Every structure is written in structure tokens, then in C-alpha cells.
Structure 1
Amino acid sequence: MMLSWRRRRAAARLARNNNLNNDDSGDHLEMEISIPPHFRCPISFDLMKDPVTLSTGITYDRESIEKWIEDGNQTCPVTNQVLLSFDQIPNHFIRKIIQDWCVENRSYGIERIPTPRIPITPYEVSEICKRIMGATQRRDHKKCEELVVKIKNWGKESERNKRCIVDNGTGCVLAAAFESFAEATSTSSAAEKYTDLLVEILSVLVWMLPFGGEGQTRLGSMSSLRCITWLLKNSGDLSARQNAVLVLKELLYLDEKHVNALVEIGVIQALVELIKEPICPASTKASLMVIFYMISPSTISDKIASTFVELDFVSLIIEILVDGDKSICEKALGVLDHVCDSIEGRQKAYENALTIPVLFQKILASELSSKFSVSILWKLCKNEKSEEGGVVAEALQLKVGAFQKLLILLQVGCDNSTKEKVTELLKLLNLGRAKLDCIGSSMDFRYLKKSY
């Protein structure tokens, strides 16, 4: 088999020396070299970066053979023999000669493969977890932080290490450590003392989502929630604030019972501030999802709705809908749909001049956007107290094709609930248009001269 490598520098020099200015010069820019067959993985046929040998004596690239075994295969791909052991022994000899070959052919643009680190073992993970538990019991936050950073660095080395860490109960140990040190942060001085440790634990926990039962219980305790909220409000580390909101999102997704505790702690202000001054799209999406869970029909209360309204949250959502990407807009619309279940929320929506135009603009943007936009419009129309039908009249005056968009939505298809709401909206719009036409007609006839 052949692999093409571009000799950029050599070809460039050749072109300059020979003044190759015709269209055929590109033929000289590419040269082909052969990769020795025994350097290739028998599974992927690519150059092996981390060769390992199985009990059958066949050498594979570690990533390829691990995937083969993880898929449930129990035989050697080449010999088809049943594997009596899944041990993978690093083949240092093959790796060394592959590296030497790469160095010899570096002029062809081939980069030397790095010497792979030895993957961690379940035993190593188990041992470090024991040490973390011991440091936690002794309240030795410095030692605990050192061990957590070591786990974090292991995870950075490879996805295999991450899987090994997650599969061996590290999440529960870290959640227990977080809760233990969070309980000791009753004062601001104590919180500052343990901040670095708590931030490091959260940075590891975010790639262990979703949490197991014990981990969820530990992180969902009042002390842990209070500490996560404190980091969300006070941490100067932007990544720490992002990790805090990601953990909150996971906790509320698993169990909405934490809503009342978070409201009592005062997380709403922190979430709104995080959306006003976004760190990155991931943190904005996570913040919107936390709010979505907090104000869902099963958890919403007048107190929660009033708090969001007081923070001018509806205007903030409308601003997001004007410039946000598809995913963020879908989540923002979902939040606004729940907010409009309350009288205060609908009133704020009525007052914003961009509400109706933006909602009609988002129809047909995506399935979720259409569903939420129609639901919000339906709530605003059905609950409007104005006899003049301000929402309907405004919709009819828009240049976004309100009628056309709703009719197209019926044609392309939507769920039954959305279909019913679209039908009602069309009836209201049609009735409103008839009233406007009637008024317009009377205005026209008023200036006609009588024929007698």
C-alpha cells in the first residue's frame, strides 16, 4: 500500500531552481513513499502509534484493538483465535523502529510519533481514590488537591484513561470529597481556603457526567449546592463558573427537587448574570437549561416567576433570540414559553416591541423553535385582556408573513398540540384581519360622494 506525502520545502526549492512556471509543475510537488506493511495496524491499516501485542502474538495499534474488544469481540482479528487473555503488552521494539523510520523520512513531511504513555490501570485508580478518602477525612485539602490534579492529568493523556477513571468509582469519591469540604465552608475565609480544591474537583466531575445515585446525592446536598452557587457567584476563574453551572444542569435534569433549595440559596441572580455576560456558548446553554428546569410547570411558583421578571429576564431572552444560534435560541424559547405561563411574564412579553416579530421569525427555524414559538404566541393571544387584540393586530402588520408561516407549518407537519394551537392562531388572525378590512372599507366609503 502507498501513502502520499507532500515534500513542500524540497518541491519549492526544485520549482525555484528550474523556474517551473507551467501548469504541469504540480506533478513534481507530490512524491509517494511506501509504509512497510508490518508498521501498519491489521485493523485500521494506518501507521501504528502505540503498538501492543496480544496473547496470540499479533501486534495492533492500541486504540484499534481496544475498540475491537470493547465492541464485544473475543477473538484475535487476524488469527480468529479465542483470546484467553485481553492483556495488551506494549511492543517497544516495533514502536522504536517505527519512530526511526519516521525520522529517516522526515524530509517527506512525516512526523515522528511520540512515545506513548503507559495507560493507567484500575488498581492505580483504586489506590488514588483511597488516598483521596484518607485526605478528606484528615481535612488535608492540600494533599487532596494534589491527588485530584493527578487524576485530572491522567484524564488529559487519553480517552482510555478517562474511561478507566470513570469506570472505577472515582465520581462518587470526588463527590463525597466535595461535600465534605463544602460543609466546612460556612465562612468566607473557609470558602477561600478550600476554593482551589473545590474548583479542581468540579473540573474533573464535569467529564464524569451523568452522575450515579450516590454522587447525585452528595452533590445535591444543601452544603454542596450552596458551595456550587458560591463558586458561580464569586469565582474569578471563568472555567470554574462554567463547570459549576454544568453540574447544576445535570443535578436538576436528574431531580427537580433541588429547585427550592437553589432559590433559597439565591442562584437566580447568578444565572441571569452569567447569561448577561456569557463565558462561552456552553455556559449560556447550561444556564438556560438550569432556568428551564427551575421554571418548568411542575416546579414554577409565583415567587420564582416574579424574581425572573424583576430582573428584566424577558428582555434578556428577546435579545438572545435576535442574535443567538439555533441551539441557544431553542433553549431560550423553551424558557420564555415557561415564563409566559405567569401573568407577570406575559405582561413583560406584551411590553417588548420585539416579542411578536421575533417569535414569528423563529417559526420554521427548527422543529423545537416552531413548537415553542407557537406555544408562546398562543398564550399571549389567549390571555390578552385588550379588546382590540393588540397581539393579533401587531401580527397582521408584520412583514414576516404570519399567515404564510403558520400555514406552511401545518403543511410540513407538527405534533398534535402544536397543530391545535396553530389552528386557533389562524382563526384569531383571520378574525382580526376581517375586522381590519371592515374598518378600512368604512374609511374608504366615507369620502365617496352620493349619487343623488
Structure 2
Amino acid sequence: MIFSWRQRRANRRGGARKNEISEGNNCDLELTIPTHFRCPISLDLMKDPVTLSTGITYDRESIEQWIEAGNQTCPVTNQILKSFDQIPNHSIRKMIQDWCVEKKSYGVERIPTPRIPITPCEVSNICSKIVAATERNDAKKCQELVEKIKNLARESERNKKCIVENGVGFVLASSFEFFAAESSEKHEEFLRAILSTLTWMFPLGIEGQSKLGSTTSLRCIAWFLNGEDLSVRQHAIIVLKELLSNSLDDQYRSIVVDGLIGIEGVAENLFKILKVPIGPISTKSSLMVIYHMLQHERSEKLASRLVELGLVSLVLEMLVDGEKSTSEKALGVLESICNWEEGREKASKNALTMPLLVKKILRVSEMANEFAVSILWKLCKEIEDETAVIEALEVGAFQKLLVVLQVGCGGKTKEKITELLKLMNLYRNRLDCFDSSTGFKYVQRPY
């Protein structure tokens, strides 16, 4: 197998090198890697060689992917694996490292000695210690263990996966609820450490969600949303988003939302994250949290407060230059806020509404199309004012809706488009806004 490295010290060796390398005009080197140093799966230089029960050595990452894909045989021998144990091959690894050092002058970097991956047993042991420390009310010891978890997760994705799959999320959620109930201010540093770790722990399972979704935990998370530390606010909004998005059913999500709605200042804090953005992740997370909260049957007061704060104008501004993912979420929030009369009135009075809705149709995603059509329908059908219909026609909504019908959409969206087209058709002949030469340029011909 031939691999190329750029020659760093082209003239430091004599003619003996010619037997090993060939040098081109661009000073690139072609260096042969010994066959037994290469993984039989990836054919790359092994970084963490491990041996299976069949005696064949592979790179750990490659063989793990092979096994996780559902394969139960050795890729080389095709024998059924009686055991999936992967034994580190220290001899091969040491030989590879020595070879890398020997070829250093050719630009080959020495592979680092890999750390031994964490095992489920070790994860369970850490969980037991956290539970015991929580029962003793020993926040300091708990924080040390949480930091250990974070350090292990940084070492490799394999470690992170092992941690997530072995119940750490539930244990941390339980500890978070316990110390939050005692005092958020007193245990602020420890609670912050848990919050930052929980951002990548989802899904937590039924028990973990119940702990993190309790009134005590939600009040603590909301308290962090109002803090000055931007990173903590980001972690808090991400955890809320994951908690709502990963809910096992609508009933549980409704319980969490009900708890959030009852916390004073939540609407203001969510709006603040959108108004003074921390980053794209925080913005998207905040939009998702607001969207889920607006789906709740008791969200009328929340919607009224968000409209009062200026959510409609802010969301429309985000749609002007927002990338696809942000635009989709922003349209979802706007569609939800238009369920209430206050929201529809604010949207209809904003000069950006119709042009942006029509512009976003067919440019973002299928779901964004559904949101945009639904908003148009609510503004044109539920507000007894022909101004909205005329404005939609003037910016080309009729043509865009025809294209959506041809491209295909869901049943409910199709019904709304049909109603909108009938309504717009009543005004179309009175307006000089329909150019048949350009209106159908995106419609595919049937032949």
C-alpha cells in the first residue's frame, strides 16, 4: 500500500533512500506502510490495534463500526465471533510507533498511545459513587465525579457513548433535582457542571426525564436562563430543548410545558435569548422551546406576553437572512403565534410578513412550506380584511401555491392551498399582478 507525505527534509539522506521512496517534481514522497501495520478493514495505519478471538488484529474504531453494524463474524476469516472482546495489541502498537519515529524525517507523525476505553462496569461504579455522595449531601465529591465523567467523554466518542448508554443521565438528573431543591445559589457551581454535561446525555429515559422535568429542576434551569454567564444560559436552553424534543410522548411534554408556563419570567428569558443571541445553537434551541410551549392548551397567556414583547417582528427579522434550519423553526413559531388573534394582527400589520412568507415557500423545506401556507391561510381566511389577500397576490403567492400543489404536499396543506387559491381568484382579475409568462416558469411540464 502506498501513501504520500510531503518531504520535509529532502536532502538529509543519501542514496539508500532511493530504495524506499520515489520523489516527484513537487517534492512529494511515496512511502510504503508495512502490510501488518494496516487495518484489514480501512487499510489505514492502525492507531489503536486490537485483536479479536480469531487472532486477527484490527484498528479499534474500524472493528467497532463493523460489529455495531450487526456483523457477528471476523471480516478476514469469516469465522463467527464467539466473543466480541477486543484485546489491545501492545506489541503491534509499539512497532507502529517505532516505525513512525523512524520515518519522522519524511513527515510521518508518531501515533499517540491510546487510552484504554472505559467499560460499562466502570461507568456503573462512578454512578454508584455519585448516588452515595448525593445521599450524603456531598456536592464537592459529586462535582469531582462529574468532572471525571466529562474528562472521560473528551477522550473518545466511544467513551461518550458508553457513558450515555449506562444510566449516567438519570443519575445526574436525580442529583440535579436534589441539590436544586436544597439551594440553587449555594450549589450553583455544581449545578452548572451537571447542566453542561446533560447537554449531550439525551435521551434520559422515563425516570431521567421525570427528574429533570420536575418543578424543582425546571425552576433551577429557568433561574440559569436569567443569569449573566452566556455559556450557562446556552446550556440551560439546550437542556430545555432536548427535554421537550426527546419527550417520550405528548402527555409528558405537556406536563413539562405546564411546569414551565407556571414559572415567572420564562417568556422574557426566552425572548431575551432571541433578541440578544448567544449563538446559532442557542437561537435554534430557544425557537424550539417557544414552539413546543405554544402548542400547549394553556399557552394563551404566554403567547400574549411574547407578542407584547415583540416576538412577531423579531421572528420576521430572523427570516430575512436566516439559514434553512433557523428559517424553518422561525416559521414554526410564527405559525403557532398566529393561532391567536393578537398574533395574527401583529403579523398582518408588518410589511415584511407577506413578502417573506412567499419568498420562503419552496426555498427551505417541506415542513417550512406547510408552516408558510398555514400562516397565509390564517392571515387571509381568519382576518376579515381583503388587504391580506391582495397583498399576497401582489407578491406572487398565487403562482407559488400552484407550484406547491404540483410538487406535492400533505393533505391538510393541500386543502388550505385550495381554499387560498379560490379566495385569491376572486381578486386576481382586478389586479395587474399576474404575468402568465413568468408565473409558471418553475412548473414542470407533464411531457
TM normalised by structure 1 equals 0.87
Partner of 1:219: 212
Equivalent position SS for 1:317: helix
Q: Show structure 2 runs of 5+ residues with no match.
A: 12-22, 248-252, 433-447
Q: State the alpha-carbon separation in 1 of the partners of residues 174 and 301 from structure 2.
A: 32
Q: Which of 410, 413, 422 is the matching residue for 1:415?
A: 410
Cα deviation digits, residues 406-427 of structure 1 (max 9, x gap): 2222221222222222222222
* Cα drift, residue 109 of structure 1: 2.1
1:354 aligned onto 2:349? no
1:396 aligned onto 2:393? yes
Summarize the Cα distance change of 1:396–1:78 in structure 2 as closer, same or farther, 3 Å threshold.
closer
Partner of 1:243: 235
Q: Is the 8 A contact 2:120 2:163 kept in 1?
A: yes
Partner of 2:88: 90
Letter in 1 for 2:217: S
Q: Is the 8 A contact 1:136 1:177 kept in 2?
A: yes
Letter in 2 for 1:249: K
Q: Is the 8 A contact 2:9 2:106 kept in 1?
A: no
After TM superposition, list the pairs within 5 Å mapping 1:57-136 onto structure 2.
Answer: 57-136=55-134
Equivalent position SS for 1:331: helix
1:271 aligned onto 2:264? no
Equivalent position SS for 2:200: helix
Q: Is the 8 A contact 1:271 1:287 kept in 2?
A: yes
**Higher percent of residues as helix:** 1
Equivalent position SS for 1:133: helix
Q: Which of 256, 259, 262 is the matching residue for 2:260?
A: 262
After TM superposition, list the pairs within 5 Å mapping 1:104-253 onto structure 2.
Answer: 104-185=102-183, 191-236=184-229, 238-253=230-245
* Cα drift, residue 396 of structure 1: 3.2
* Cα drift, residue 95 of structure 1: 0.8
* Cα drift, residue 300 of structure 1: 4.8
Summarize the Cα distance change of 1:434–1:70 in structure 2 as closer, same or farther, 3 Å threshold.
closer
Letter in 2 for 1:372: F
Q: State the alpha-carbon separation in 1 of the partners of residues 394 and 57 from structure 2.
A: 71
Partner of 2:311: 313
Cα deviation digits, residues 177-199 of structure 1 (max 9, x gap): 011011012xxxxx232111111
How many residues get paired?
Answer: 413
Q: State the alpha-carbon separation in 2 of the partners of residues 312 and 397 from structure 1.
A: 26
Partner of 2:442: none
* Cα drift, residue 121 of structure 1: 1.6
Q: Is the 8 A contact 1:51 1:90 kept in 2?
A: yes
Q: State the alpha-carbon separation in 1 of the partners of residues 42 and 200 from structure 2.
A: 28
Q: State the alpha-carbon separation in 2 of the partners of residues 431 and 285 from structure 1.
A: 39
Q: State the alpha-carbon separation in 2 of the partners of residues 227 and 145 from structure 1.
A: 17
Which of structures 1 and 2 has the bigger CA Rg? 1
* Cα drift, residue 175 of structure 1: 0.8
1:429 aligned onto 2:428? no
Q: State the alpha-carbon separation in 2 of the partners of residues 9 and 409 from structure 1.
A: 62
Partner of 1:32: 30
Root mean square deviation, CA, Å: 1.8
Q: State the alpha-carbon separation in 2 of the partners of residues 332 and 393 from structure 1.
A: 24
Q: Is the 8 A contact 1:259 1:299 kept in 2?
A: no
Partner of 1:22: none
Q: State the alpha-carbon separation in 2 of the partners of residues 110 and 379 from structure 1.
A: 64
Equivalent position SS for 1:27: coil
Q: State the alpha-carbon separation in 2 of the partners of residues 48 and 109 from structure 1.
A: 17
Letter in 2 for 1:404: Q
Q: State the alpha-carbon separation in 1 of the partners of residues 431 and 168 from structure 2.
A: 67
Range moving further from structure 2, 157-166 or 337-346: 157-166
Partner of 1:10: 10
* Cα drift, residue 176 of structure 1: 0.6
Equivalent position SS for 1:120: coil
TM normalised by structure 2 equals 0.88
Equivalent position SS for 1:310: helix
Letter in 2 for 1:380: L
Equivalent position SS for 2:429: helix
Range moving further from structure 2, 210-219 or 248-257: 248-257
* Cα drift, residue 119 of structure 1: 0.9
Equivalent position SS for 1:31: strand
Cα deviation digits, residues 130-165 of structure 1 (max 9, x gap): 111111111111111010000011011011111221
Partner of 1:47: 45
Letter in 1 for 2:322: G
Equivalent position SS for 1:414: coil
Q: Is the 8 A contact 2:261 2:299 kept in 1?
A: no
